[in-house]
Structure 1
């Protein structure tokens, strides 16, 4: 099979495109013919040498996929050959990734793709959708209908999922964007109030709309400005973080605890199969109902996986501003 893989970590140029043996499903696994895969920042961190866990060699990059089951291993119970599925959590914890014509996946990491949803859409919602769902759920933000949520960066991969899921839950959504184009995208996603952080005083204008502050804050910035966040927080505001592992921003302890705020951090790939299955069922239903519409910023053929990694890295680490939405790679 054709695959995008690397033998040693490093810059995007270490990614090779070539032939690898087609894997065979083992106990409780299925072989998926990949229709589409999606790229996430964590894929670029792993490729660049982030020492989270030991990688097999050669290592196929990619966390997300959607496709059709080609074969099943012994003991599988959930899916059959010919069914369409989507999933995430591959290419993590030492598992092989999804940037290939075929991928072997433990069936408990897969979810049924609705008939009216494309592989591209399902893949583009995978890791980002599960992340948003876990962060908004009972163990973290506990977002309820009628509450207000501020999403810092509503046009990004996870941010766009949070905006749409918050609307599906019944919340009022306030968000930021860095351009008129991205602001329009946030409007299309359902955001109620959008602020251009380059031209507007976000704190001042947000508090004019929500004088008491917002109930939930979802922070996508790697180095959060906690003075700003606390200033727009309501009493007992729940803050969800997506900061980089090396982030060490100053923290206003006094103002934070006086408002009785809480801070929530989580790692998607540490969720159990049972926890992720709840996310998968909701995401599939919302996709089928049209309540969740992924924004695909760029599509690449599998042979150009290195260029896809470069584009993602330019925008994640260098704030190039040349990507709005997810990168999808197609075998």
Structure 2
């Protein structure tokens, strides 16, 4: 089979596109014929060695998200059958092989039924960001209809999904981003209010608009906790999903006197059943047209190294949406 893989961690130039043996599903694995996969920041961290597991198999196939069709099932697989369309994430990490390949043997517990009218590209683009957003909003923040969410970085891959998901739950959404184009994009996603963090005094504007937020979703590697805590209602919840190497000041007094809570999580370490519950709801929203991924480009396996370089340059504005591979 054709695959994009590495023989050692390092720069994007280490990615090789070539032939590897076809995998054989064992136990509760199924063999997936890939149709689409997408690039996420975690993929570049694993490839570079920043988040590579000690038991990484080599050669190692890159990629975590997927959409495809079941080609065969292992002897203990009971939920899926050949011909089923599926989507999922959680590959390419914790010792599991990735998804940038024509075929992959994946445990069926990580795969979910594809809504009939959803494209492979959309499902692959929404897999990691969708599950991350649902786990944060539902499992950690316990977001309720009528509450207010601020999404700091609303035009990014996760942020744009959080906006749509929070609106689907019935929350009021404030998004922050930079520049007129990104601000308009956040509005098209359903954000009730959009602020430009480069020019707006965010805590002041939040107070004027809503009197404070119940949930603050932080996508920045360097969160400004003074601004965050000043924007929160009492018993508000702050969600952190980035900042692997970040070290920032923490205003303890402002945190505990408002009875706030701080929730950090890595989607890949979320229990499989919690992720399945998230995926089932995501499937319903996808089917109803309430979720949509902005795709910057659709490329081929041959472009894998270039896509990793683009992902690593995303902070410079190199991409506007998800990078997807059609297989």
| TM interval, short-chain normalised | over 0.9
Q: How do 1:98-137 residues align onto structure 2 when only pairs under 5 Å count?
A: 98-137=99-138
* Gap regions ≥5 residues in structure 1: none
Q: CA deviation at 1:204?
A: 2.1
Please name the residue that 1:67 is paired with.
68
Deviations 1:153-209 (A, max 9, x none): 111111111111100100000011112221121111111101122233322222210
| Matches of 2:53 and 2:9, distance apart in 1 | 13
Matches within 5 A, 1:82-93: 82-93=83-94
1:36-51, aligned counterparts within 5 Å?
36-51=36-51
Q: Counterparts in 2 of 1:1-331, with a 5 A limit?
A: 1-54=1-54, 55-138=56-139, 140-211=140-211, 213-315=212-314, 319-331=315-327
8 A contact 1:182–1:324 mirrored in 2: no
Q: Deviations over 1:71-117 (max 9, x none)?
A: 11111111110110000000010100000111111001000001100
How far 1:51 moved relative to its partner? Answer: 4.5
Q: Which moved more, 1:49-58 or 1:172-181?
A: 49-58
- Residues in 2 aligned to 1:181 and 1:105: alpha-carbon distance in whole angstroms: 39
Contact 2:218 2:239 in 1 (8 A): yes
Which deviates further from its counterpart, 189-198 or 147-156? 189-198
SS in 1 for 2:167: helix
TM-score (norm. length: structure 2): 0.97
Q: Which moved further from structure 2: 63-72 or 293-302? A: 293-302
CA distance in 1, matches of 2:295, 2:258: 38
Rounded Cα–Cα distance in structure 2 between residues aligned with 1:166 and 1:195: 17
Whole-angstrom distance in 1 between the partners of 2:125 and 2:203: 31
Contact 2:235 2:260 in 1 (8 A): yes
Distance in 2 between the 1:147 and 1:42 partners?
30
Q: CA deviation at 1:324?
A: 2.3
| Count, aligned residues | 326
- RMSD of aligned alpha carbons: 1.0
* CA-CA distance at 1:246 after TM superposition: 1.5
Distance in 2 between the 1:321 and 1:202 partners? Answer: 22
Query: Counterparts of 2:12 and 2:256 in 1: how far apart (Å)?
Result: 43
Unaligned 5+ segments in structure 2 are none
Query: Quick one: distance in 1 between partners of 2:287 and 2:112?
Result: 13
- Residues 214 and 232 in structure 1, CA contact (< 8 A), matched pair in contact too: yes
